[in-house]
Amino acid sequence: MARTSSRTPASRGPVPSRRRRTFGDVLKALLAFVALLALVGGVPFALLVYAGSPFPSGAPSMDWLQRDIDVDTFLGILTVVVWIAWAQFAACVLVEVKAAVSGVGLPSRVPGAGGSQLLARQLVAAVLLLGATAASFAPGVSQLGQPQYDENHRPPVAAAQQTPGGLLGQSRDTASAVAEQAAQQASAAQQGDHAGDSAHRNTKFYRIQPPEGRHHDSLWEISQRHLGDGRRYKEIYALNKDRVQPDGSKLSEASLIRPGWIMEMPADAHGGELVEMPDEAPKVSEEVRQQIGDYAKTGEERGGAVRQQPAHSQERDGAGDTRTGQFTVPAQRPAGEAGEAAPGGARATAGDASAHSFGLPEALLGAPLLAAGLLGALGRRRRAALWRSATDAVGGRRGMEPPTPTGDVADVQDALLVGADPGAVRLLDRSLRSLAAELGAQSRPLPVVYAAWLSEGDLHLQLAQPAGQPPAPWQLGQDHTFWRLARTDADHLAATSEEEAAENRDGGGRDTAAPYPGLVGLGTLDGSRLLLNLEAVPGLVSLSGAPEDRQAVFSSVAAELATNGWSDRMTITLVGFGADLLPLAPSRLRHLDDVEALLETMEAETRQRRGALGTAGVDSVLTGRTGPAHSARWAPHLVLLAAEPDAEEAARLAELAVDAARLGIGYLVGTDSGELPGAAWEMEITAEGRLLAPLLGLELDAQLVPAAQHRALARLFAEAGGEGDGEGDGEGPDGQGPGGAAQRPPFLVDISEQGRPAVYARLVGPYELIGLDTPDAERSPLLREALALLLLHREGVHPRVLASALWPRGVTDDVREAILTRLREWLGTTEDGAPRLRADDTGRLLLDASVVSDLDVLRSLYHQATAGEGARNRAVRGRLLTDALGLVRGPLLADRPEGRYGWLGHEIIDAQLPLLVADIGLALSAFHLEKDRATKAIEALERALSTSPLDERLWNELLRATHATGDEDRLRALAADLTTRAGARGLPPRTEALLEELLPGGRAPTSGTAG
């Protein structure tokens, strides 16, 4: 099957034109090169030949100063002056060449150079122009790694031939589609001309500023400040490429910009440094206004083709799509909008398509929804294990730190951190739930959805059949079987849904059920990500291919279904594989050994579900989800059968699957032959990672979890929950956890006077730094945040993990390397000259031991008090515990700015720190109670409660300490306060039993207290 593409001319916005070099440009560049060569090489050669070496053969005598100035003396002095002038010019050339090669925006100034450096700059720029000119004669080479704008101007016929098929609709006539596309393209071009005229009358410009104490400016930073997204720097580059700047040079590389240059900006640019001509011409001097005017004329010479409308103002029209199969890729967003973050789309990671992954698994880096689900499940599992160990450790100390992953397991964890897009998951979840809520309010049933497409920021639902006009803000898509939600509407809708969900939870109400929990990612096609609704397939879905390739697909589907955030309760049955995946979600996943056991289970469940639908009086589980019942029996059951069944088993499966879509049951079955009785949809996975479904019109880059990543994921989750731990994604501290001795912290600090650190960061409470200069205000937030991340991970941080934490929407390689360079410079070196920030053998970034946080000290003090010297000396233990509790000033990074430090959501430090503080408070309380100092014990417990107000152990110990004072009225007041805090939920059983022991019969019963 020929590979298809959904990109059509009708869906594209204005595209920059490429100006080819003329013969005059080439001649000018060659002459400049010859002049540069003559000045740099010819001058010293001539001086050596005619004047000799500039270095004297011996030391000059005083007689030389008393001689008359004759012709020879004058020529000697002149020769020295020429040598000095040449050396200065050569230095200017070296500085300019270094700046051009390194990509730094502003070359260093050569003292006293003046016009010499300007001449050198123009000649070097001419040499760069020569390189650009030569490249223009070989576009096949010069455009490698660059956006191929020419693709966007394919002839309509070619575009029509590359359009994927449609869903359940009649095929359109190809000639009609081509004519329609051509008409749309002509209309778009006409509108673009008018837009270009308007942009010319009122165009925005930016003048590159000198550093003035800060780092050199870059297109990325200009785009970040004035367009809101650094990744849109390519739009600025396209607008200004090869246009003559005031100093006579031209922008030929995105990284080569210099102070004094003028940049034309996209129409939606904003910010005080911009100049909008002609309206804001008085803002600048006459000289700058003249420069901007001259520069604007260079845009006119290019025909205005580079001007673009704001991304948000461009509309899409998918009428050009042809419909020849069963699935259609939604129309793509215009090129100007490509900078927007696409929910579930491929994230802009370390750079362009050529960016490498530093050894991280590409399969997980390219699966943002899967990675986000796995990362969330991993965090829940670690928190659950932490709480269990805290509540079940009796008479011993528990481990505070989860095991540190190493090797392949560490690579997989890093890939999850880099690739995850939790914002896209939340957006998808809230968009679907709000749709279900709105349809329920209108008493309309949910439409049957076969697939969801996430395409350049928009969400498209592909319906089994037309279902009328969707509720606002949803719109009809390219035809009546598509419902479309634009990204801007989805953002607003998700925020509103979050507020409503919070109100429902606070008021005891019920949030809307997940309408399409069976959606699971299969792969991408031309930037659009496909999620197939396994629950809605009218029969079996078969998957053929080599066993190891099928296994990679099954692992991906199982992992995403088990951990995705757009589902509620569901059951996923794995047959023939995946027993080691159960820790991902023990409440969802179950494993069966053979097909016979599966058939017995599913025959019983099929009968039960048919009876339940009849009793409820609904025609399908989909109807039941939006009705008043909202019963748990409408949760989907998805079966993943990796081993091919025999003929008899296949026949029984086909019979069960006849009514599966109505019952909320889905089947994905592996087959060696490619033929399976009762298969409604047939797919094939190739050795190259392509997922083919010819009858559906699909050819995707498959979403896979290869065997190596499968094993590493299984180990990662097993270690997170403890050996033999069968739970992991629960909400509370049920089950048995690891007890035993206190675990050694990952980084121990020398707490003696000799161990005073060179750099000290206070993280527990407001963020403060001691021992470092304050960086410039523009970059201070990034550097401080990067340092905080490194301090919380003394085992090391992968550079791409650091970059994805600082820029969740993605960043280019050069910006990432720039922040690392600045971070190294800011942290400086140790006394022996070693950098305080270095990389280990795996490339992960490590801080030197001289850089310490109060959290490191807190852990070290507690460890010394319970397992070090304090365990053998009571006086030392008391001093260490008191010092540790004195470090606690509030929650972690209490004053962190809104919108930053989002990576903390992936950490478990927010659970570790309160437990650590509680442990310190409990240990100090026990220390004081040993000497009957109940008042001191109460002070320690109240101090710990200020940071860990929900720790039941602290409240119970506070009850005991208060009882030890003998003040019964104070004890009753504390009991009443606890009862009020518990509210309708009642007191926990352990606290209730303790109060009965301390105040037998002396406390009035409370409503909600467990009997």
89-137 confidence digits (pLDDT tens): 888 888 777 766 554 444 566 777 767 777 887 787 777 655 543 333 3
Predicted local distance difference test score (pLDDT) of residue 299? 75
| Helical pair 43-50 and 71-102, crossing angle rounded to 10 deg | 150
Is it the case that residue 633 has pLDDT exceeding 90? no
Q: What confidence tier does 706 reach under pLDDT thresholds 50, 70, 90?
A: very high
pLDDT of residue 224: 80
pLDDT at residue 404 tops 90: no
How far, in Å, CA of 988 to CA of 986, rounded?
7
How high is the pLDDT of residue 378? 94
Taking the C-alpha atoms of residue 988 and residue 1010, their distance in angstroms, rounded to an integer, is: 8
Question: Kind of pairing, strands 768-770 and 679-685?
Answer: unpaired
577 pLDDT exceeds 50? yes
Residues 6+ apart with CB under 8 A from 492: 473
Do the Cβ atoms of 823 and 786 come closer than 8 Å? yes
Cα separation, 228 vs 777, whole angstroms: 18
Residue written as token pair 């023939």: 576
Q: 354 near 145, Cβ under 8 Å?
A: yes
**Phi and psi angles of residue 846, each rounded to the nearest 5 degrees, phi first:** -125, 145
Average pLDDT over residues 61-67: 62
Q: Check residue 149 and give its pLDDT.
A: 35
What pLDDT is attached to residue 180? 46
- Asked if residue 306 has pLDDT above 60, the reply is no
Find the mean pLDDT for residues 747-755.
84
Region at 808 (left for phi over 0; alpha for psi -120 to 50; beta for the rest)? alpha
Reduced to 3 states (helix: H, G, I; strand: E, B; else coil), residue 836 is: coil
* pLDDT of 770 over the 90 cut: yes
Cα dihedral 927, 929, 932, 933, rounded to 10, equals: 70
For 354-368, 620-634, 922-936, which range has the lowest pLDDT when averaged over its residues? 620-634
DSSP annotation string for 157-173: HHHHHT----SSSPPPP
pLDDT of residue 358: 55
Q: Which pLDDT does position 259 carry in this prediction?
A: 81
Contact 7, 332 (CB under 8 A): yes
Give CA 165 to chain center in angstroms: 32
**CB neighbours of residue 61 within 10 Å:** 8
Residue, of 782 and 504, whose pLDDT is higher: 782
Contacts of 183 (CB under 8 A, 6+ apart): none
CA distance 946 to 951: 11
User: Does position 741 have pLDDT exceeding 60, yes or no?
Assistant: no
The residue ranking higher by pLDDT, 366 or 150, is: 366
745: preceding bond cis by omega (within 30 degrees): no
List the alpha helices (DSSP H) in 302-398: 362-365, 368-392
pLDDT category at 199 given cuts 50, 70, 90 is: very low
Does the pLDDT of residue 434 top 70, yes or no? yes
CB atoms within 10 A of CB 54: 15
Does residue 931 or residue 176 have the better pLDDT? Answer: 931
Helix and strand counts by DSSP (H, E) for the chain: 32, 22
Is the pTM for the entire model greater than 0.85?
Answer: no
